[in-house]
Structure 1
């Protein structure tokens, strides 16, 4: 037995009671691993803390269910198994049915629908498109409503279509917007999607082929047995069960026998039931000697039957009842001739009228299993059999209703299942010591299932990658913030430059700033007015090479003094000619350009040129 955490079990009970999802039958190891992953994402410290989080944040249920229900599927997944199913199973299965008979398929755990559409393609290849549309019904079920909604859309991306050959894509899919492919609408009508919880909901009946691939491996042994029992009930006597590569059913040989164990294809094992639908056997041929009192004898046999029985006429009137029926439900010979609908038995412990109508309409025996009846303090388990009674000419005479008390057999069955579980556990322990019997070792099989689960979990790591993308986005946001700061600094620098430009422009004297090589770095607007050269024309030019009205040869000593060691401010008054050709007197001052007080060598010089007299 697996060790359980009471707080984790309390969380599972809460999920079942609040949202109707019963995960108590899932394997604890993989289930706890997936819940813990979700807890780490919301920073919940333990299961109690996470339960409180669920109660406060209802939206968290969706994220948790998406984490637990790993929906990994693909078209023609395990291609070898699908080839075998198409060539060796579908053909004989269809040939065994009468011409035109309907073919019913159940795809349990269909996820986003790829497996259901794969079944449709495989059957259409065998039957032809027209035969498929006329005869086939595929019931595709899952517990996840989001996945069912995606399956109903029947559109898939290039990546999802990788398992489908180009030929099949052309024949069964149509391109739609967004680069996706849609399954053919005329074939899509034969596929019915619906929600079904394999643990709790009733199975679909009269199924020819049931596929449930890599779903059972998530459940524990007890729940697997329960689900397989329902699969056995759902399938016809010659029905086929198609499982995933991690599921082998070695301990359920009483329900299914392998057709091909490698591909996980099994056939239903018929159970030995009494022939249904026969309330009275035909009497043996009469001997030559007359037998008297037959009517009284038949009535007495019916009355003394150990099974509670009720016979109704074709129009719903009570015709016969026996002693066991009176003992069980209080219906006696006094009720003969009354309409059945007036009896409490018609609707309690189970609504019988619709089943009686169905048996009359379909002319076949119906069984209603698992009926619970509370008689006083005693709880009785019943199985009801409803059989139509036909006359020699085929006309409907009435209906026979038989109530089988299966309380003792149900108790024995439960005890037998418990004993089987104990034997299975002991058998698994013995198998673990023998490597040669690895294929029959359920403990190692459990390991295989866990590995398969891990592989499928790896395919669901897109959520974690999305989290990493969010972290990268956060880093990008931080870098953007740094860029914004740099942009602000650049703006401040531009403002400082603009301010300096404004100051220089506002000066009445012409100003030029040169580097140590006497190349001009700045040239203000007043200098442009004086000498007729724009700033763009002189920036980067050697000052002494300028063709302006200044006597450049007189300024060389002044500039050398401002740029050499121990440089100081000096000025000189010279005669010049301005841009209009007018003689002017100019006072030229040259100041060393240093970054700090007492710097060794100037980084350039500031040349101030001011007219000595008004023009």
Structure 2
């Protein structure tokens, strides 16, 4: 698990507009409105909104968002070009992605309930915009958006999340905060201001430098070391400053001192900074000419050298999200085909150890699923052979996945993988200072077998370790490991954290003559240990080798098959059993056990070795020391008492053989019973697994439908609020006209009326639903009911002048009630007071 692949994100292709992806689910309408309401009309950003929707209903989201922003809000269509200062909304039942500055709609590949439309959008933004991509996760249930934010973060983009305490449904924000590198967390209405501040120039880069930036940087690295147990002080200061400046911009800070105070008050920021430093950008077959040379020239030589039945071992240090490790496995598979055709025998298998410091990158690599860009990077033939379609991307085929073992590993602090045939460390050393480079290159040389291959990045060289490596092609940075011997004592093994250097100095030139800071006492102790201390290994109670001192190759050797660093497996046949007995005895009796003159070979005819097994100062650990092997000869005296015990040992051996035979018979019978029980349990486990998968699928489908219903309910509630407001407006409008109006349904029953009607017809709220003929009125109009029915039957307009019992005149108009769909739903009767007009008319006639 080496250090992560610390590579700066590749610059994205020029784009005319920067895109902000907004993802929400249940309870997301309110935060969407709050976010968009804060957007100025000239931000220069385009906004793409994805919300979980019911695919069987027409969406109202576009109409609802138009009320909160002055920007145009458009429902997305396939091929629509993104424009700045506009909002684009996903339609129901579609997956929305961004490619080349255009929107793309595709039918969902997953069944309803398992769809992750927000992840799809964010992944496409990361692939299309790289470091310019922006993703925002708002309220919602489930975990949609988390993987998409991871992709944006790894591409160097900005990731924002609504603070869970302000979200109506906090599951989506909480998942994003737990598993994705989130840059900004705030309430929905505050996210836009924080985003615009982060898009400005990074803080701390102006002319007004902080008073003591080196001291502040030291304080930040110290807290990072205490929080993560990883020391980044050996990184180039320029690299660290560039990554920290990005965090300064996110928080709107102006100096390293202010950021140091922030991480002191908010330790969770250290996790975000650590992930920021670990951002790695890689791809399949990056620098194709290097991989072609590795396949056509280097790999055939390695395959020819490996004995039959032995694995070819490779280590990819800083594998990031796994593309380079899988590329190496594909190159081996293609070279193995050529080897089989050339020699007529199977090629040696490959075991790739791929490691990185970033747990997020390792998780992605282990999953082995990548986006649609894989098809362009590997080509159609490799795509068909080594990948399988998965969602909108591709998953690594099982045959390729089985060849790669991913692990988290720190190349600075953790022991390296050894006995390697190939070591790939590309674009990692360039981020380390000169002192760390001088320490790591001999370590790489020790890890490789003589004749192994070292692959570096295009900007990296072996520097002062030229005696260990011979260039194959300096341009492609491929090197053979030379046969020059290198003792383990000359290598600085990273087995424990080293004390941090409190000062930061500029990188020194790569020079072998650079003075060392090691004390004379340490130098003397190392020289004495190398000259006089015996070869030894440190093991635990199970015999696992934890540390190697000196050269132990004469006594221990790796076993064939899967790598196994256990002394019981690696010990030479002649000493394997005595060492196991001595280790058990030392553990039980807590004392040193001496084993003089053990034969290395079963026949005991060549050499003998003295072995000492002693408890180490730390409980549970033991030191197994080997004295240099001595040749055996007939004249050499044998240890005292050896002849006298031979007969007793032979008798004990025969007794042990009989016991072993009996135990073997019992073991075979038990194995048969266990096999039957195991098969039954496996069958039951398969059934339970199937039932569990069905229940999980049902749960996810129910959760998705619940989210869609929540979204629909929120939209309908908003519509109801609008309708209630419109009803109030209409009621006030009718009352303000002071015109008596009566609404009747198709059965001429009262449906609604205005206040002035009560002066003519005795009505109150409880009369809603009563027939018109049952109502008492002051009108001298007995034909009112008949005229209303006539209007309803013929749809003709009726108008009459009618008097009242108190001497007033009214113009009565009866018209059909038409809906927006042009359906007749009753009649509308209006009563207009014309008493004044009639009185004026009467006076004019009399005059």
Q: TM-score, normalised to structure 1's length?
A: 0.52
Choose which of 496, 506, 531 in structure 1 pairs with 2:758: 506
Is the CA contact (8 Å cut-off) linking 2:314 and 2:350 kept in structure 1?
yes
State the distance in 1 between where 2:425 and 2:403 align.
Answer: 19
Quote the offset at 1:119 in angstroms.
1.0
Residue-pair matches, total: 387
1:42-80: CA deviation from partner (whole Å, max 9, x where unpaired): 345544443443344343233212211121111111222
Aligned-partner SS, 1:70: coil
State the distance in 2 between where 1:233 and 1:23 align.
Answer: 24
State the distance in 2 between where 1:38 and 1:261 align.
Answer: 38
Choose which of 281, 284, 303 in structure 2 pairs with 1:75: 284
Is the CA contact (8 Å cut-off) linking 1:530 and 1:578 kept in structure 2?
no
Is the CA contact (8 Å cut-off) linking 2:420 and 2:449 kept in structure 1?
yes
1:216-252: CA deviation from partner (whole Å, max 9, x where unpaired): 1111222122222211111111111112223244554
For residues 104-123 of structure 1, the aligned pairs below 5 Å read 104-123=313-332
Change in CA separation of 1:499 and 1:227 when aligned onto 2, cut-off 3 Å: farther
Quote the offset at 1:97 in angstroms.
2.7
Quote the offset at 1:491 in angstroms.
5.2
Structure 1's unaligned 5+ residue stretches are 277-306, 311-323, 330-340, 342-346, 365-386, 404-481, 510-524, 552-570, 580-585, 593-605, 609-615
For residues 279-358 of structure 1, the aligned pairs below 5 Å read 358=556
1:423-452: CA deviation from partner (whole Å, max 9, x where unpaired): xxxxxxxxxxxxxxxxxxxxxxxxxxxxxx
State the distance in 2 between where 1:499 and 1:164 align.
Answer: 73
Partner of 2:646: none
1:467-509: CA deviation from partner (whole Å, max 9, x where unpaired): xxxxxxxxxxxxxxx9999888645423413545612443428
Determine whether 1:257 maps to 2:450: no
State the distance in 2 between where 1:50 and 1:4 align.
Answer: 11
Partner of 2:655: none
Partner of 1:145: 359
Q: Compare relative contact order (CA 8 Å, sep 6+) and give the higher one, 1 or 2.
A: 2
Change in CA separation of 1:550 and 1:98 when aligned onto 2, cut-off 3 Å: same
Quote the offset at 1:86 in angstroms.
1.1
Partner of 1:589: 834
State the distance in 1 between where 2:839 and 2:468 align.
Answer: 106
Partner of 1:398: 609
Aligned-partner SS, 1:40: helix
State the distance in 1 between where 2:361 and 2:812 align.
Answer: 91
Bigger radius of gyration among the two: 1
Quote the offset at 1:105 in angstroms.
0.5
State the distance in 2 between where 1:353 and 1:48 align.
Answer: 49
Choose which of 141, 152, 159 in structure 1 pairs with 2:373: 159
Is the CA contact (8 Å cut-off) linking 1:391 and 1:397 kept in structure 2?
no
For residues 32-71 of structure 1, the aligned pairs below 5 Å read 32-71=241-280
Determine whether 1:169 maps to 2:424: no
Partner of 1:532: 787
Change in CA separation of 1:257 and 1:577 when aligned onto 2, cut-off 3 Å: closer
Greater CA drift, 70-79 or 184-193: 184-193
Partner of 1:218: 431
Partner of 2:402: 189
Is the CA contact (8 Å cut-off) linking 1:205 and 1:235 kept in structure 2?
yes
State the distance in 1 between where 2:723 and 2:813 align.
Answer: 45
Is the CA contact (8 Å cut-off) linking 1:531 and 1:549 kept in structure 2?
no
Is the CA contact (8 Å cut-off) linking 2:425 and 2:455 kept in structure 1?
yes
Is the CA contact (8 Å cut-off) linking 2:810 and 2:835 kept in structure 1?
no
Structure 2's unaligned 5+ residue stretches are 1-211, 490-526, 540-544, 558-569, 575-597, 611-625, 630-717, 737-752, 762-776, 816-830, 841-847
Is the CA contact (8 Å cut-off) linking 1:308 and 1:402 kept in structure 2?
no
State the distance in 2 between where 1:577 and 1:488 align.
Answer: 28
Is the CA contact (8 Å cut-off) linking 2:234 and 2:433 kept in structure 1?
yes
Q: TM-score, normalised to structure 2's length?
A: 0.39
Is the CA contact (8 Å cut-off) linking 1:241 and 1:268 kept in structure 2?
yes
Partner of 1:475: none
